[in-house]
């Protein structure tokens, strides 16, 4: 597939600099499967101008019209779900079962959640004689990653549309196929020209000028903490709003009264979902020291049951990691874990047996990990799990918070009140107790270096709104 054009002003548009294309690589085969055009500042300027021109009318459009547009987008996503799933698995290596069960349905859920929020949201609220009015913030630059490509796009686009904002989207250049399909859905849904624009390209060539652009009112980025810092620095001179969903090193605290036979396999599955390429993956499993040997056996058994292989084949649980750079990073971190003295329970360096091609990684579990080890502090973004022993509940909380990140956390306990008490002490934006169902309306975002702002549901839409107070709006 050739993604050789941007989507700007309701039209497919060639890049301002011809002949500047990047290969799209299938991580399972290491073969080129397409090309994506590389945009530049001129393309960003054009897209922002179109979004700026469309904003005055779209920002005051009736709520019912915006809900109807989102409804059309929702219907087309459901209709084209298999095409989207195939694209995601091909471009970034997610197992097709995961793409069908999570990558696409969760992306669709963000659109549905935005419609539900619009159905009840009060854009004008009375406070005595004062009106508190919520208004669209303006032109929004949205920068999304490759690991959950559709899911992250809709987590930003849907609430921005609901709020009445206009958009310039920069998807990851490593997952452009699903982004192009989404742009076609936006077009076919009848999105007014200029309301949604897409510019392909790299962070330095497209993301940086988008973040710095004086006519962009807000930047929302999901990516690494390093990328988030660069975007915030570029945005600072124009004092635009910046929301960031960045890195994580999430703990999974197994309290001593948990059902270990149940929660250990679930914890391994959660850590390794999407081949560990999730910012909120619970890759630090905190275990009572007296139960560590039991957890090692249960975790190794769970990892051994995961089929690694062709992501397009039914039954595959773990496909490849997405890029050669990511493969090299994971291999380097496994070597660091061994050098630091962690105990290797399963997996290790190299590809799984029989998989000589593709960026496949052996599901790896380390035990006897100390909190000051690099593998316990740094985001690996691969199928590597650390088992960290603790002496008591107090130490478990201390270890859980002993990181620069604060995106997610998990707690397992048979005593709900005890789990709630521990949850209240965890410095993270989202905490899961006993592996609950995913909630598209639950606020998602980080403390500390995991970012600023929140996404999902009403919390996500309000990031795209300004607050205006009009005194004397109501009679005495």
- Number of domains the chain contains: 2
> 273 and 97 in contact (C-beta within 8 Å)?
no
Q: How many CA atoms does the CB half-sphere of 278 hold within 13 Å?
A: 23
Distance between CA atoms of 450 and 288, rounded to whole angstroms? 27
Whether 431 maps to a domain, the answer reads: yes
Q: Which residues contact 175 (CB under 8 A, 6 or more apart)?
A: 88, 91, 92, 145, 146, 149, 322
Which residues are annotated as catalytic? Answer: 245, 279
346 within some domain: yes
Identify whether residues 37 and 151 lie together within a single domain.
Answer: yes
Q: Is 300 in the same domain as 208?
A: no
Q: How far apart are CA 107 and CA 78, in angstroms?
A: 10
Q: Name the residue range of residue 115's domain.
A: 2-246+451-470
- Check residue 404 and give its pLDDT: 98
Phi, psi of 142 (to 5 degrees): -115, 125
CATH code of the domain in which 281 resides: 3.40.309.10
What CA–CA distance (Å, rounded) separates 171 from 209?
Answer: 14
Same domain, 206 and 285: no
Q: State whether 361 and 294 are in the same domain.
A: yes
* Residue 444 placed within a domain: no
| Six-digit token string for 385 | 């799990």
CATH number of domain containing 88: 3.40.605.10
Beta strands 408-412; 451-452: pairing state: unpaired
Q: How far apart are CA 93 and CA 274, in angstroms?
A: 9
Residues 207 and 297 in one domain: no
**Are residues 323 and 433 both part of a single domain?**
yes
Co-location of 263 and 183 in the same domain: no
Question: How far apart are alpha carbons 303 and 363 in whole angstroms?
Answer: 6
Torsion of CA 103, 252, 282, 228, to 10 degrees: 110
Question: Beta strand 384-390 with 364-367: parallel, antiparallel or unpaired?
Answer: parallel
The two most distant CA atoms of the chain are separated, in Å, by: 78
Cα 360 from Cα 318, distance rounded (Å):
8
Residue 114 covered by a domain = yes
In a domain, 445, yes or no: no
Helices (H), 189-284: 208-212, 225-235, 260-272
Answer for the pair 157, 167: CB distance below 8 angstroms, yes or no: yes
Residues in the chain: 476
Same domain? For 398 and 311 the reply is: yes
Taking the C-alpha atoms of residue 110 and residue 151, their distance in angstroms, rounded to an integer, is 8
Q: What angle do CA 37, 49, 224 make, to 5 degrees?
A: 55
Give the Cα separation of 250 and 121 in Å (integer).
32
- Residues in contact with 129: Cβ distance below 8 Å, sequence separation at least 6, in sequence order: 471, 472, 473, 474, 475, 476
Spatial distance between the Cα atoms of 54 and 42, rounded to a whole number of angstroms: 19
**Do 268 and 394 lie in a common domain?**
yes
Check residue 20 and give its pLDDT.
79
357-383 burial by CB neighbour count: b if 16+ within 10 A, else e? ebbbbbbbbbbbbebebebbebbbbbb
From first to last of its 476 residues, the chain has per-residue pLDDT tens of 788 899 999 999 998 887 678 999 999 999 999 999 999 999 999 999 999 999 999 999 999 999 999 999 999 999 999 999 999 999 999 999 999 999 999 999 999 999 999 999 999 999 999 999 999 999 999 999 999 999 999 999 999 999 999 999 999 999 999 999 999 999 999 999 999 999 999 999 999 999 999 999 999 999 999 999 999 999 999 999 999 999 999 999 999 999 999 999 999 999 999 999 999 999 999 999 999 999 999 999 999 999 999 999 999 999 999 999 999 999 999 999 999 999 999 999 999 999 999 999 999 999 999 999 999 999 999 999 999 999 999 999 999 999 999 999 999 999 999 999 999 999 999 999 999 999 999 999 999 999 999 999 999 999 999 999 999 999 98
Q: Cα(337)–Cα(44) distance, rounded to whole angstroms?
A: 42
Predicted confidence at residue 1, as pLDDT, reads 75
Same domain, 305 and 156: no
Residues forming a β-bridge with 385: 365
Residue 476 lies in a domain: no
Q: Are 174 and 322 in contact (CB under 8 A)?
A: yes
Residue 33: inside a domain: yes
Q: What is the pLDDT of residue 19?
A: 64
Pair 274, 205 in one domain: no
Q: How far is the CA of 177 from the CAs of 7, 37, 105, 358, 423, in angstroms?
A: 13, 12, 17, 19, 39
Cα–Cα dist 190/187, whole Å: 5
Q: Does 446 fall in a domain? A: no
| Same domain, yes or no: 232 and 276 | no
Distance CA 157, CA 189 (A): 14
- Vertex 166: Cα angle to 163 and 172 (nearest 5): 110
């Amino acid at each position: 597939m050739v993604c050789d054009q941007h989507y700007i002003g309701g039209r497919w548009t060639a890049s301002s600099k011809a002949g500047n294309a990047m290969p799209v690589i299938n991580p399972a085969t290491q073969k080129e499967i397409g090309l994506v055009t590389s945009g530049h500042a001129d393309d960003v300027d054009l897209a922002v101008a179109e979004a700026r021109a469309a904003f005055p009318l779209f920002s005051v459009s009736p709520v019912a019209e915006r809900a109807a547009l989102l409804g059309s987008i929702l219907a087309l996503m459901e209709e084209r779900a298999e095409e989207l799933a195939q694209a995601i698995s091909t471009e970034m290596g997610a197992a097709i079962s995961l793409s069908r069960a999570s990558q696409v349905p969760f992306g669709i859920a963000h659109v549905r959640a935005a419609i539900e929020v619009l159905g009840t949201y009060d854009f004008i609220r009375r406070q005595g004689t004062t009106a508190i009015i919520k208004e669209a913030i303006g032109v929004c630059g949205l920068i999304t990653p490759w690991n959950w490509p559709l899911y992250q796009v809709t987590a930003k686009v849907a609430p921005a549309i609901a709020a009445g904002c206009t958009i310039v989207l920069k998807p990851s250049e490593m997952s452009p196929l699903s982004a192009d399909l989404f742009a076609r859905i936006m077009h076919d849904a009848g999105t007014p020209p200029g309301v949604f624009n897409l510019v392909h390209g790299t962070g330095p060539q497209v993301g940086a000028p988008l973040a710095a652009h004086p006519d962009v009112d807000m930047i929302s980025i999901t990516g690494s903490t390093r990328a988030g810092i660069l975007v915030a620095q570029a945005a600072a001179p124009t004092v635009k709003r910046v929301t960031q969903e960045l890195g994580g090193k999430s703990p999974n605290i197994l309290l001593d009264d948990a059902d270990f036979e149940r929660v250990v396999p679930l914890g391994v599955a959660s850590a390794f979902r999407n081949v560990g390429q999730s910012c909120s993956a619970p890759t630090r499993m905190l275990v009572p020291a007296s139960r560590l040997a039991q957890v090692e056996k249960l975790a190794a058994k769970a990892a051994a049951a995961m089929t690694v292989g062709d992501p397009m084949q039914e039954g595959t649980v773990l496909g490849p990691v997405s890029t050669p750079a990511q493969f090299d990073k994971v291999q380097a971190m496994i070597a660091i874990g061994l050098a630091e003295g962690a105990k290797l329970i399963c997996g290790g360096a190299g590809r799984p047996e029989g998989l000589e091609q593709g960026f496949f990684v052996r599901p790896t579990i380390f035990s006897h990990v100390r909190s000051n080890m690099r593998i316990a502090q740094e985001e690996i973004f691969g199928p590597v799990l650390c088992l960290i022993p603790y002496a008591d509940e107090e130490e478990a909380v201390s270890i859980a918070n002993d990181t620069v990140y604060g995106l997610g956390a998990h707690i397992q306990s048979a005593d709900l009140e005890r789990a709630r008490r521990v949850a209240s002490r965890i410095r993270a934006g989202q905490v899961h107790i006993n592996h609950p169902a995913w909630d598209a309306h639950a606020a998602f975002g980080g403390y500390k270096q995991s970012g600023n702002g929140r996404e999902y549901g009403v919390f996500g839409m309000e990031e795209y709104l300004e607050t205006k107070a009009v005194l004397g709006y109501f009679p005495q």
